[in-house]
Amino acid sequence: MKLNKRLLVVGAAAILLFLGGGCKKRTPVGAPPPSQQQLAAPTITLTAQPPIIAEGASTTLNWTATNATGVTIETVGQFPPQGSTVVSPKASTTYVAVATGAGGTVSAQSRVTVTPAPVTTTTTTETPRVDETDQGLNVEQIFKNEVQDIFFEFDRAEVTAEYRDILRQNAEVLLRRLPRVSIMIEGHCDERGTEEYNLGLGDKRANSARDYLVSLGVSATRIKTISYGEERPFDPAHTEKAWAKNRRAHFVLIKP
């Protein structure tokens, strides 16, 4: 009997203990801390004024950054969030500015174009030498000594390279030493061919010489032409050597 009473007491105590534990308030789980507010990202603008400069000139870089603690411009330096600086690039350059803040970094760029400096050239106008006649010198002698005839191949009126050099020398004399004189260019042929044909060929030879002088700067108004064909041979012999001498453009001074 005593044993049963003891069991009843223990059982009742266990029930009370269980019921008491179930009614105890639970400690609430702590709420997560509020999320941190998202930090604003920085912004930046960069401009160059003027954006195009000549070589050796300068331009001004201007920038404005927000939400930033500083700005770094590559190859230039570190600066506050807002400002300007003068740069003098030697060549076209793209400048990059980086703004840094608690919310990160951001960059902007601006292109400066450098154009070559204008080349300064000095134009020298060559003054023709004084007309030798003004110094009492013999124009006819100068003309005779320095102005040369040119010669042609058989049945041709083209000026060959050898005689183009002679015409350049003649033009130099007419432009620099005798700038006021006028000339006559006579066209001549050897005796082969008809008289009519040779008159036409002589005319072509005289005009070829004149046109080349004009291309070198001698005024066409100073040059007259005439053809004598085979009428006035320089060498009257009937040989190849004589004929070669007769195929010519002969220069004559026109006296005032």
Does residue 198 have a pLDDT over 60? Answer: yes
Whether 67 and 103 have beta carbons less than 8 Å apart is answered as yes
Residue type at position 126: E
Write down the pLDDT at residue 38: 79
Does residue 110 have a pLDDT over 80? Answer: yes
Assign 130 a pLDDT band (cuts: 50, 70, 90): very low
What percent of the chain lies above the pLDDT cut of 90? 71
Q: Is residue 1 part of a domain?
A: no
Whether residues 142 and 170 fall in one domain: yes
Any long-range contacts for 238-244 (C-beta under 8 Å, 24+ apart)? 238/191, 242/190, 243/154, 243/190, 243/191, 243/192, 244/151, 244/190
Whether residues 186 and 235 fall in one domain: yes
Whether residues 111 and 138 fall in one domain: no
Instruction: State the total domains in the chain.
Output: 2
**Over the chain, what is the mean pLDDT?**
84
Domain hosting 55: range is 43-115
Write down the pLDDT at residue 34: 46
What percent of the chain lies above the pLDDT cut of 70? 77
Assign 131 a pLDDT band (cuts: 50, 70, 90): low
Q: Is residue 15 part of a domain?
A: no
Does residue 36 have a pLDDT over 50? Answer: no
Whether residues 98 and 210 fall in one domain: no
Q: Is residue 2 part of a domain?
A: no
Whether residues 155 and 96 fall in one domain: no
Whether residues 101 and 150 fall in one domain: no
Assign 106 a pLDDT band (cuts: 50, 70, 90): very high
Whether residues 98 and 144 fall in one domain: no
Whether 192 and 233 have beta carbons less than 8 Å apart is answered as no
Write down the pLDDT at residue 199: 95
Assign 37 a pLDDT band (cuts: 50, 70, 90): low
Assign 79 a pLDDT band (cuts: 50, 70, 90): very high
Does residue 124 have a pLDDT over 60? Answer: no
Q: Look-up: residue for tokens 């292109």?
A: 111
Whether 225 and 187 have beta carbons less than 8 Å apart is answered as yes
Q: Is residue 23 part of a domain?
A: no
Does residue 7 have a pLDDT over 50? Answer: yes
Whether residues 97 and 153 fall in one domain: no
* Pairwise pLDDT comparison (205 vs 13), residue with the higher score: 205
Whether residues 166 and 81 fall in one domain: no
53: CATH: 2.60.40.2470
Longest Cα–Cα distance of the chain, Å, equals 182
Write down the pLDDT at residue 11: 58
Does residue 142 have a pLDDT over 90? Answer: yes
Does residue 55 have a pLDDT over 60? Answer: yes
Q: Is residue 215 part of a domain?
A: yes
Does residue 136 have a pLDDT over 50? Answer: no
Write down the pLDDT at residue 16: 57
End position of a domain, from candidates 59, 81, 115 = 115
| pLDDT tens digits, 16-31 | 555 555 545 555 555 5
* Distance from C-alpha of 147 to C-alpha of 169, rounded to nearest angstrom: 8
Write down the pLDDT at residue 115: 85
Instruction: Report the interhelical angle of 161-172 vs 195-215 (nearest 10°).
Output: 60
Whether 61 and 76 have beta carbons less than 8 Å apart is answered as yes
